[in-house]
């Protein structure tokens, strides 16, 4: 199947769309767009305007059949649109979730950056993939068994207009490893002394000892503790941008105008020491790789505000539907307009 370049707004990969920053602060960035990367897959068949009318097996069977056809169409559409196969579909009372095969990952271990990653990372468009799409059922808000505070309301009404929404999860890996911390000492004994004096203010002292223990492993007992020692930590990052797309109920055109990101860090430790024989050593622990897409074995995680607030994202997507997109992410892949 022909692979189509994935596109996002900002960190959604855009084809021929440039970003024009409007305003920015430490927490968020609001962006205006010349055009939107919309999708127009078929709308999910709904029950009726009066949910109480669903009281017969015939009506239920008809809806089930319509949604089976819809699901096949949606799978075909998304596989063609993103160039990735759908591997699994899960259905519950609130939504259909399409899971996609992972994209081929770049070799992050071979790229080492000896500087800190400052700010938002820009990543090539073709390195982004989609991990899943959640289509909320029109009747989701009618589920009585789910507490009102936890319901996934499938529609939002703004100024008398009803909108449906969905969530698409895009992901990419950082361009290699970035240095997080680095510190040198005249000896391992000096590390212990420094930790005693500055334990409450100098966490790097503890960091150095941890790096040595992680990187040296069984070779720790072979090092000369009176010789200089240096320790470094690096992180590679898994980025996930959750994108809320909205459309007017009864139409099929989705506008992906709100995206919020999270970032998972995977650490790599290095240390430079001297053996008791005088031989210099550079040791590092084995790099940790993700156990899945998305990974669950990361060392740390950071999330932007409202990442887990679906209703807030939907309202913001509607607000920006015709005037621009809302973006608050850790990684982007498009080029700002000069």
pLDDT in tens, 107-136: 655 688 989 998 899 888 888 999 999 998
Per the prediction, the chain carries an average pLDDT of: 77
Interval 305-329 mean pLDDT: 88
Question: Domain residue spans in the chain?
Answer: 19-332
* Terminal Cα-to-Cα distance of the chain (whole angstroms): 36
Long-range pairs, 209-217, Cβ under 8 A, ≥24: 210/269, 211/269, 211/270, 211/271, 212/188, 212/271, 212/273, 214/269, 214/285, 215/269, 215/270, 215/271, 215/283, 215/284, 215/285, 216/271, 216/273, 216/283, 217/283, 217/285
pLDDT (0 to 100) of residue 27? 35
Choose among 290, 178, 166, 184: nearest CA to 230: 184
* pLDDT exceeds cutoff 90 at 20: no
How does residue 106 score in pLDDT terms, banded at 50, 70 and 90?
A: low
- Residues 209 and 195: beta-carbon distance below 8 Å: yes
pLDDT (0 to 100) of residue 197? 54
CA distance 101 to 107: 18
Interval 169-195 mean pLDDT: 86
- Please tell me which residue, 38 or 168, carries the higher pLDDT value: 168
- Please tell me which residue, 195 or 144, carries the higher pLDDT value: 195
What letter would DSSP give residue 275?
B
pLDDT (0 to 100) of residue 288? 86
How does residue 56 score in pLDDT terms, banded at 50, 70 and 90?
A: low
pLDDT (0 to 100) of residue 18? 24
- Identify the weakest region by mean pLDDT among 199-203, 260-264, 287-291, 322-326: 199-203
Three-point CA angle 257, 335, 134, nearest 5°: 30
pLDDT (0 to 100) of residue 11? 37
22-55: pLDDT as tens digits: 233 333 444 433 333 789 998 888 765 455 555 5
């Amino acid at each position: 199947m022909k692979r189509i370049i994935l596109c996002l707004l900002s960190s959604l990969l855009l084809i021929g769309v440039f970003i024009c920053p409007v305003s920015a602060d430490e927490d968020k960035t609001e962006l205006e767009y010349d055009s939107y990367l919309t999708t127009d897959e078929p709308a999910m068949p709904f029950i009726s305007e009066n949910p109480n009318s669903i009281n017969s097996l015939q009506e239920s069977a008809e809806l089930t059949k319509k949604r089976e056809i819809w699901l096949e169409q949606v799978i075909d559409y998304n596989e063609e649109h993103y160039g990735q196969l759908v591997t699994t579909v899960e259905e519950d009372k609130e939504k259909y979730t399409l899971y996609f095969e992972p994209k081929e990952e770049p070799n992050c271990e071979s790229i080492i950056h000896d500087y800190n990653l400052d700010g938002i990372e820009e990543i090539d468009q073709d390195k982004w993939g989609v991990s899943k799409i959640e289509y909320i059922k029109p009747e989701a808000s009618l589920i009585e068994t789910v507490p009102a505070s936890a319901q996934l309301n499938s529609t939002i009404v703004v100024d008398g207009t009803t909108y449906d929404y969905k969530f698409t999860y895009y992901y990419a890996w950082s361009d290699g490893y970035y240095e997080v911390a680095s510190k040198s000492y005249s000896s391992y004994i000096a590390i212990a002394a420094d930790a005693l004096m500055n334990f409450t203010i100098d966490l790097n002292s503890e960091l150095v000892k941890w790096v040595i223990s992680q990187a040296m492993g069984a070779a720790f007992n072979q090092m000369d503790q009176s010789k200089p020692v240096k320790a470094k930590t690096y992180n590679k990052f898994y980025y996930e941008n959750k994108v809320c797309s909205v459309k007017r109920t009864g139409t099929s055109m989705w506008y992906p105008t709100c995206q919020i990101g999270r970032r998972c860090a995977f650490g790599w430790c290095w240390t430079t020491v001297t053996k008791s024989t005088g031989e210099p050593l550079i040791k590092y622990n084995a790099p940790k790789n993700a156990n899945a897409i998305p990974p669950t074995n990361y060392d740390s995680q950071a999330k932007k505000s409202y990442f887990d607030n679906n209703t807030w994202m939907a309202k913001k997507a509607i607000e920006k539907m015709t005037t621009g997109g809302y973006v608050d992410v850790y990684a982007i892949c498009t080029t700002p307009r000069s």
